[in-house]
């Protein structure tokens, strides 16, 4: 460690600038909120958006190509840049969608903004994680903020229950991950992902170290379990529906979209960077995860009557696709997974945003029946929701189609045709519950004719969000190219 301290220079802090800016921003928001007048929290809200804008600017302007700094614990590369931009933009959308929702429930307090910003900080650290340690630290920063956010509505029993469930299961998963990390460290003697990759390759080729390669396999099992939990892939998905349902929708939006980007960052850093040589060990495990996620997610979602639970199971099935791309074990596969997750986050933002727009004081709009006749109440919102649903089902011309195409192509390129067939067959089953949403909105009659009160900014954001899903479905080339250049 002495060496690390000696080689430190201020120059090294430039790639870390976005995190520094965000940390300062979050602290400013914390302070501003202390002295903010009234209950409107307009200033906290504005300062949070300013903090996000500053972070985005810092991201773009401090980027100087791939760099590994802070003793190898922090790496800044194209992957981290893309992910972080996605996270920042995503969180900004979450805040925009969430403001009036939170205000109507008397939840618009400073904690929401500061905790969200700290969660974002954790996510950004994961995206730039250069070592097992920094990945773990980022993950804990994220998780602790999320635990608090989930239980943030203290008058709601469901919210508190969800928080406790999330905390206990999350801590268990973190423990698993940490145990796996400790085994990897024990065998290789390093936490640095780049060094780890070389050490593992050396252990595997060394015929005298057979027992060590078995130990590495054991470590990988725990790492996969921990990552699968954070990703929300079956059979480690049990927490997801309850927590999606119990949390305030604004928090579900973070869990369901932005934090998924952190999960894919964790998975890509761990498996694409560090554990790549152990591909043959984790590939079969991931195949099981993928198939189970696709099966459980798509089938159980059909039985749901609550849209947040339905979207939770839908998320599980989408994680099946993401895992599919990762298990291909190629640059194509990783970039396909990245593309899938980015576009899934975009789609999820609109879905949860819609729930918040349709909700009002004392009405959550989280039952499927609440969507009956939406096509008559508000044709534009219903059209947007329809685009979201078709994108999740993977029907062109929405972006969900190209996401699935990319993943299936990557998997089939590795010769796993059967698993691609399983995936598409389950997505046909999945299409049913997305179609049911469209049916409720367009084919059924209005049950609750009360007018929809949506602020102009929410309408603008959700329209842009819906258009982006369509536009990326028709012109996916740019984002696909970005995702493939990252690897």
Partner 1 sequence: MNSYPLLSLAIWLPIVGGLLVLLLGSEARVALSRWMALAISAATLLLTLPLYCQFDSTTAAMQFVELAPWVERFSVNYHLGIDGLSLPLILLTSFIGVLVVISSWTNIANRLSGYLGAALIMEGLMIGVFAALDAVLFYIFWEAMLIPMFLIIGIWGGPNRVYATIKFFLYTFLGSVLLLIALIYLYLQSGSFSILDYHQLAISADVQTLLFFAFFAAFAVKIPMWPVHTWLPDAHVEAPTGGSVILAAIMLKMGGYGFLRFSLPITPDASQEWAGLMIGLSLVAVIYVGAVALVQTDMKKLIAYSSISHMGFVTLGIFLFSPLGVEGGIAQMVSHGFISAAMFLCVGVIYDRMHSRDIADYGGVVNTMPLFAALMMFFVMANSGLPGTSGFIGEFLVILAAFEASFWIALGLASSLVLGAAYNLWMYRRVIFGAIANDKVAALTDINGREKLVLVTLAVAVLALGLMPNPLFDVMHASVDALLDHVSQGKL
Task: State the residues that interact with partner 1 by CB under 8 A.
Answer: 375, 379, 390, 395-397, 401-402, 405-406, 408-409, 412-413, 417, 420-421, 424-425, 427-428, 431-432, 435-436, 438-439, 442-443, 476-477, 480-481, 484
DSSP H helical ranges for 63-156: 78-104, 110-127, 132-150
CB of 162 to partner 1, least distance (A): 33
DSSP code of residue 246: H
Whose Cβ is closer to partner 1: residue 217's or residue 396's? 396
Rg (CA), the chain: 22
User: Are the C-beta atoms of residues 152 and 279 closer than 8 Å to each other?
Assistant: no
Whose Cβ is closer to partner 1: residue 424's or residue 460's? 424
Distance, in Å, from the CA atom of 264 to the CA atom of 315, rounded to the nearest integer, reads 13
Kindly list the distances between the CA atom of residue 155 and the CA atoms of 49, 106, 151, 152, 160, in Å, as whole numbers in the listed order.
Answer: 27, 10, 9, 9, 8
CB of 155 to partner 1, least distance (A): 39
DSSP H helical ranges for 189-278: 193-205, 210-231, 239-246, 249-253, 259-267
CB of 80 to partner 1, least distance (A): 21
Whose Cβ is closer to partner 1: residue 216's or residue 408's? 408
Whose Cβ is closer to partner 1: residue 244's or residue 390's? 390
CB of 413 to partner 1, least distance (A): 6
Query: H or E segment at 335?
Result: helix 331-358
Kindly list the distances between the CA atom of residue 291 and the CA atoms of 315, 327, 328, 346, in Å, as whole numbers in the listed order.
Answer: 14, 12, 14, 24
Whose Cβ is closer to partner 1: residue 52's or residue 469's? 469
Cα 316 from chain centroid?
12
Distance, in Å, from the CA atom of 44 to the CA atom of 25, rounded to the nearest integer, reads 11
Whose Cβ is closer to partner 1: residue 29's or residue 440's? 440
CB of 161 to partner 1, least distance (A): 35
């Amino acid at each position: 460690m002495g060496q690390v301290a000696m080689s430190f220079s201020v120059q090294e802090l430039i790639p870390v600038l976005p995190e520094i800016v965000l940390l300062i921003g979050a602290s400013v928001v914390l302070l501003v909120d202390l002295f903010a007048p009234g209950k409107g929290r307009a200033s906290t809200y504005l300062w949070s958006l300013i903090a996000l804008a500053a972070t985005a600017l810092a991201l773009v302007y401090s980027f100087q190509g791939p760099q590994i700094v802070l003793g190898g614990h922090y790496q800044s590369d194209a992957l981290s840049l893309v992910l972080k931009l996605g996270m920042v933009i995503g969180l900004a959308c979450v805040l925009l969608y969430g403001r009036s929702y939170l205000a109507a429930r008397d939840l618009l307090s400073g904690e929401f903004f500061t905790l969200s910003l700290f969660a974002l900080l954790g996510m950004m650290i994961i995206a730039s994680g250069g070592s097992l340690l920094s990945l773990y630290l980022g993950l804990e920063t994220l998780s602790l903020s999320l635990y608090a956010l989930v239980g943030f509505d203290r008058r709601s029993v469901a919210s508190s229950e969800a928080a406790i469930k999330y905390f206990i299961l999350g801590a268990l998963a973190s423990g698993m991950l940490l145990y796996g990390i400790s085994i990897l460290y024990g065998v290789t003697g390093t936490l640095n992902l780049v060094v780890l990759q070389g050490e593992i390759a050396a252990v595997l080729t060394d015929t005298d170290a057979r027992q060590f390669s078995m130990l590495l396999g054991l470590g990988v099992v725990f790492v996969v379990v921990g990552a699968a939990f954070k990703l929300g892939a079956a059979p480690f998905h049990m927490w997801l529906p309850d927590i999606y349902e119990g949390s305030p929708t604004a928090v579900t939006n973070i869990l369901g979209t932005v934090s998924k980007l952190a999960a894919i960052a964790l998975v890509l850093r761990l498996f694409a960077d560090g554990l790549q040589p152990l591909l043959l060990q984790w590939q079969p495990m991931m195949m099981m995860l993928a198939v189970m996620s696709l099966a459980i997610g798509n089938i159980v979602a059909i039985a749901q009557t609550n849209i947040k639970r339905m979207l939770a199971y839908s998320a599980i099935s989408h994680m099946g696709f993401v895992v599919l791309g990762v298990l291909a074990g190629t640059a194509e596969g990783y970039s396909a997974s990245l593309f899938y997750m980015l576009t899934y986050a975009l789609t999820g933002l609109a879905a949860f945003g819609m729930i918040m727009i349709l909700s009002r004081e004392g009405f959550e709009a989280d039952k499927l029946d609440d969507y009956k006749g939406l096509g008559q109440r508000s044709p534009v919102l219903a059209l947007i929701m329809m685009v979201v649903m078709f994108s999740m089902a993977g029907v062109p011309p929405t972006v969900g189609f190209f996401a699935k195409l990319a993943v299936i192509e990557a998997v089939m390129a590795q010769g796993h045709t059967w698993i691609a067939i399983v995936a598409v067959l389950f997505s046909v089953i999945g299409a049913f519950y997305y179609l049911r949403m469209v049916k409720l909105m367009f084919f059924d009659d209005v049950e609750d004719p009360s007018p929809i009160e949506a602020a102009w900014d929410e309408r603008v954001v959700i329209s842009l969000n819906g258009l982006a899903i369509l536009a990326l479905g028709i012109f996916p080339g740019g984002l696909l190219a970005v995702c493939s250049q990252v690897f």
